[in-house]
A and B are shown apart, each in its own frame.
Chain A
Amino acid sequence: MRRLLALRLTEAIVVLIGVLTITFFIARLRGDPAQLLAGPDATVADLAVLRKSLGLDRPLPDQYAAFVANAVRGQMGDSLRYRTPALPLVLERLPATALLALGAFVISVGVGVPLGIIAATRRNSVWDHTSMSLALLGQTVPAFWLGSLLILLFPLHLGLFYTSGFGTLGHLVLPAVTLGMFHTARLARLTRGGMLDVLSQDYVRTAKAKGVRAPAVVRRHALRNSLLPLISILGLEVGTLMGGSVVTETIFAWPGIGRLAVESVFARDYPVVQSVVLVASTVFVLTHLGVDLLYGLADPRIRYE
């Protein structure tokens, strides 16, 4: 286990350095990042000062070293809009995004996994066809459209929940459904696929032959084995939830990092955009690391590979 931990930790650090490198180059896609970092109102003199202070007049490898050294110390520059350090601004908004992602996660696991189990155990029945059609629909409907339709239906027509805002559980419902829809659908399909694979295994047939009742076969033999691969998929979901939150937060005016990123693009506040990317990627890499280790605990085979 300790070897696995060391290995995974090194990998995570390498990936984070990779993320930093990619962000470094994205800022330089059009050559000089000074214009980007100083904003549209900067004068030629401002640019010269900024270039000097950020070391942008030095060779690229020096710039890169300085960028990584600053990032590791959490110095991502100042927000152009708020004139305060960019990173704390992003971290302040992180809990709201985490809450939204958690809500979506709970919905997708709570609805998607049971739907998949029902579909797999009653294969080719009405249940199977209905839940799989719903899942297909959930994967094709764009989140921003679903959000508009939910707003049209619930707050505007039925007077339920809220069109925007943040604070109570009622405010969380529609955004979490919007964000969670795609993942619910995907989880339902993956669970069904996994269950079908396991249900055709010899040990399931043996259990049935021994006279174990169907619910017990599903619960004790099929479910446990088909949920294992799902753990690693759930880890990847966190990344897509973070990305998807950009849209959901924009529709429902949710005060998270996704909306901050979009606002910052329009405000030409590049340091904040950059910080959001780094924070979101770090969260992704860390959850991925956690899931990998959990997986190692849950499945002894992983530890010896």
Chain B
Amino acid sequence: MIDGIVMDDRRARRRGRLLRRHLKGIVGISILAIAVFGALLAPWLTAHSPTVADAQRRLIPPAWAGGTASHPLGTDQLGRDLLTRLLHGARISLFVGTLAVVLSAPIGVAAGLWAGYRGRLTDEVIMRVVDSQLSIPFLLLAIAIIASIGTGTGNTILVLALGGWPTYARMVRGEVLSLKEKEFIEAARAVGAADGRIVRRHLLPHVVTTTSVVASFAVAHMILLESTLSFLGLGVQPPTASWGQMLSDAKSYVSLQPWLSVFPGLAIAVTVLAINFLGDWTRDLLNPQTRHL
């Protein structure tokens, strides 16, 4: 009998520990799942259009603040349903953020592998480019590129990808420099493996883990940057709904129609938080040493 109670207690404690260890992962994945489903199913989840204006229905407050049930979060200054625009905004944010990382990470990893493995002049040149680019504040670099190539969703992705690669290059190079001295690389070289094969088969697999952790945090960062650019009017262009641009439109209504500012901001913050949680969780799973931080 007593044994049973002790066992139960122990099991409960272990369950508590497991839950605490994976809490960030659970919360992160749940929020992201909602965002992804909302984004994918946006056209079927609401009956309204994200872009068509309706002058009769301007600035309706949320349902609980005297609005109507057909516009749960109210409408904006052009009479468009806020919830619909938020869901469509999730599409843009997740799409742009993910694609920017998918494009920039491989470039950065390739540059880092190459610089670290070849060393000497190759290393010197690539790392000076990296240093130089990182000396230009990211947002100003983005503004300069946009001033040159123009705004739009595609260009926003391009700008973020062009701006994102040096971080990976610097990190991967650092790892390759220490890996290069290890015996297994020497062994590969001794049996006559070509440089390309060593880099692909022996070095690349070792940097994939850290890269994917960094890349998952980078998605959050890219979403923030996209909404920042759109807020400034330099990113995704109207009528396409994006969270940053919705916030920018809401600026003039902040005192009388605060919901227009509150919800898009909340959407950005919660999404970014969820991705960061997911990043923390994977990092801790892969590297037990950082668990206490």
Q: Could you list which residues of chain A lie within 8 angstroms of chain B, going by C-beta atoms?
A: 11, 14-19, 21-23, 26-27, 29-30, 33, 36, 136, 139-145, 148-149, 151-152, 156, 193, 196, 239-240, 242-244, 246-247, 250-251, 258, 261-262, 264-266, 268, 270, 273-274, 276-277, 280-281, 284-285, 288
Q: In the assembly, what is the distance between CA of A17 and CA of B140, in Å?
A: 17
How many whole Å from B254's CB to the nearest CB in chain A? Answer: 5
Q: In the assembly, what is the distance between CA of A143 and CA of B244, in Å?
A: 11
- Asked whether B136 lies within 8 Å of A247 as measured between CB atoms, the reply is no
Q: Which residues of the partner chain A approach B262 to less than 8 Å between Cβ atoms?
A: 149
Q: In the assembly, what is the distance between CA of A16 and CA of B128, in Å?
A: 10
Main secondary structure of the interface of B (DSSP, over half): helix
For the A-B complex, the count of residue pairs with Cβ-Cβ distances under 8 Å equals 154
B238-276: which have CB < 8 Å to A? 244, 247-248, 250-251, 254-255, 258, 261-262, 264-265, 268-269, 272-273, 276
A26 and B144 contact, Cβ closer than 8 Å, known pairs A21-B132, A140-B276, A156-B255: yes
What are 21 A-B pairs with beta-carbon distances under 8 A?
A22-B133, A140-B272, A140-B273, A141-B265, A145-B264, A148-B247, A148-B250, A148-B251, A148-B265, A196-B292, A239-B134, A246-B137, A247-B231, A265-B146, A273-B143, A273-B144, A277-B141, A277-B144, A281-B136, A284-B135, A285-B135
A15 and B140 contact, Cβ closer than 8 Å, known pairs A145-B261, A193-B293, A247-B232: no
B227 CB-CB contact with A under 8 Å: yes
Q: Which residues of the partner chain A approach B152 to less than 8 Å between Cβ atoms?
A: none
B138 CB-CB contact with A under 8 Å: yes
- Asked whether B132 lies within 8 Å of A145 as measured between CB atoms, the reply is no
Pick the contact of B265: A145, A240, A277 (CB < 8 A): A145
- Asked whether B261 lies within 8 Å of A239 as measured between CB atoms, the reply is no
Q: Which residues of the partner chain B approach A156 to less than 8 Å between Cβ atoms?
A: 254-255
Apart from A23-B144, A288-B135, 15 more pairs, CB < 8 Å: A14-B131, A22-B133, A26-B145, A26-B148, A30-B148, A30-B149, A141-B269, A144-B227, A148-B247, A152-B254, A152-B258, A156-B254, A196-B293, A244-B139, A265-B234
A284 and B137 contact, Cβ closer than 8 Å, known pairs A19-B132, A247-B228: yes
- Asked whether B136 lies within 8 Å of A19 as measured between CB atoms, the reply is yes
- Asked whether B232 lies within 8 Å of A243 as measured between CB atoms, the reply is no
- Asked whether B148 lies within 8 Å of A36 as measured between CB atoms, the reply is yes
Q: Which residues of the partner chain B approach A11 to less than 8 Å between Cβ atoms?
A: 131
- Asked whether B140 lies within 8 Å of A280 as measured between CB atoms, the reply is yes
Q: In the assembly, what is the distance between CA of A280 and CA of B114, in Å?
A: 30
Chain B minimum-CB-distance residue to A241: B137
Q: In the assembly, what is the distance between CA of A128 and CA of B219, in Å?
A: 28
Interface flags for B30-41 (1: CB within 8 Å of A; 0: not) read 000000000000
Chain A minimum-CB-distance residue to B251: A148
Q: Which residues of the partner chain A approach B269 to less than 8 Å between Cβ atoms?
A: 140-142, 145
- Asked whether B276 lies within 8 Å of A144 as measured between CB atoms, the reply is no
B102 CB-CB contact with A under 8 Å: no
